[in-house]
Amino acid sequence: MIDQTEALTSIDINTGGFVGGRNFHDTIFKTNLEAAQAIARQLRLRNLGGIIVVDFIDMSEISHQESVLAEFAKALTLDRTRTSMSSFSQLGLVELTRKRTREALASQLCEPCPTCDSRGQILTARSICYEILREVLREAKQFNPREFRVLASQTVVDLFLEEESQHLAMLGDFIGKPITLEVANHCSQEQYDIVLM
């Protein structure tokens, strides 16, 4: 599990399954050895820089700890980027620093999502319908157009034509003005315009 924050990257190793029985210590040892190699590879692939904290699975045997560190150090020598490594801290963590070079992979290949503004979620079409109704009401108190034209995404317009048609009609009656709908293909679900005609 690699978790990247602005300040540091933390890497957590888990066995990914049931560990038990007589070979408990061996399984943990082998998992940590494999992880040491995998981590060194991932650091290169993702070009992770700065402080990296690795939380290996706790190993009681000192010889196992030493072997894992040695394996890790060996795997890190393949790295052309300067890397330095601590030994196990009292909490069982290994700290690395890796020189930051070109930007990390995620920021090279990705950009903020314009649809959700990088929140990862967008308001439902129904929420947008209600937002539009409130906005029309607000504007009807301030302005006196002949008609209000709502420009919105297909989904929002569809909802107004079907399930929300009564609310739209009620608002139209209340303000005494027609409210018309128009699909605006450039609008994402959250975007709309209210045009005063």
Helix (H, G, I), strand (E, B) or coil at 192: strand
Strands 148-152, 93-98: pairing is unpaired
Of 9-17, 19-27, 113-121, 132-140: span binding Zn ion (CB under 5 A): 113-121
Among 57, 116, 194, 196, interactor with Zn ion by CB under 5 A? 116
The rounded radius of gyration (Å) of the Cα atoms in the chain is 29
Which residues in the 1-30 window bind Zn ion by CB under 5 A? none
Least distance (Å) from Zn ion to the CB of residue 160?
A: 24
Residue 129 contacts residue 167 (beta carbons within 8 Å) = yes
Among 70, 105, 106, 113, interactor with Zn ion by CB under 5 A? 113
Nearer to Zn ion, 97 or 155 (CB): 155
Among 115, 144, 154, 165, interactor with Zn ion by CB under 5 A? 115
Q: Residue 56 gets which letter from DSSP?
A: P
Least distance (Å) from Zn ion to the CB of residue 109?
A: 15
123 touches Zn ion (CB under 5 A)? no
What is the side-by-side strand order in the sheet with 83-85?
A: 2-4, 8-12, 50-55, 93-98, 83-85
Write the CB contacts of 51 (distance below 8 Å, at least 6 apart in sequence).
7, 8, 9, 95, 96, 97
Of 112-120, 123-131, 136-144, 165-173: span binding Zn ion (CB under 5 A): 112-120
Return the closest-CA partner of residue 193 out of 102, 128, 96. 128
Of 27-35, 61-69, 106-114, 185-193: span binding Zn ion (CB under 5 A): 106-114
Nearer to Zn ion, 8 or 116 (CB): 116
C-alpha to C-alpha distance for 22 and 11, rounded to whole angstroms: 27
Of 3-11, 28-36, 93-101, 111-119: span binding Zn ion (CB under 5 A): 111-119
Query: Which residues lie near Zn ion (CB under 5 A)?
Result: 113, 115-116
